[in-house]
Amino acid sequence: MTTFLPSRSTTALLVLLASLGLGLAFWLRFALIENAALGNACDAAGGFVSCPVRQATIVLFNYNIFGGAALVAAFATLWRPNVSTLSLAVVASALGLILYNTTPAAFAVSLIVLALARPASSTGQERAH
């Protein structure tokens, strides 16, 4: 019985994508969303380039889009393991955990762990390339 196991280079890419996702999430949260001066400036004038990005991010996390995307990608990875859905699940989970979608993103992380631990299909490849 074999499990879905990404290759070393794929694992390095997944770690890089997770790090980039976390970095982006921290920047969005602390530089745009929780920055009171920027929030007041966007409410008053709305002329900054970062104001639409800030508003879009707020709308996305209010509707649990980050956590929902992480869940959908994690379920897809659990159902049919492959590197592309795993990558999307990892990045969306990183964004969801930092950007206020913690419950669905944490559940998605647990599904990612299950996807990596479950037996691979007998017709599929043992290692992802």
Q: What is the pTM of this model?
A: 0.87
Every domain of the chain and the residues it spans: 22-119
pLDDT in tens, 60-103: 999 999 999 999 999 999 999 999 999 999 999 999 999 999 99
129, pLDDT greater than 90: no
- According to the model, what pLDDT value does residue 5 have? 84
pLDDT in tens, 7-47: 999 999 999 999 999 999 999 999 999 999 999 988 887 66
- According to the model, what pLDDT value does residue 72 have? 98
- According to the model, what pLDDT value does residue 98 have? 97
Inter-residue contact 90 to 66 (CB < 8 Å): no
6 CB contacts (<8 Å, ≥6 apart)?
Answer: 14, 83, 86, 127, 128
- According to the model, what pLDDT value does residue 45 have? 78
- According to the model, what pLDDT value does residue 27 have? 97
Closest CA to 107 of 73, 61, 80: 73
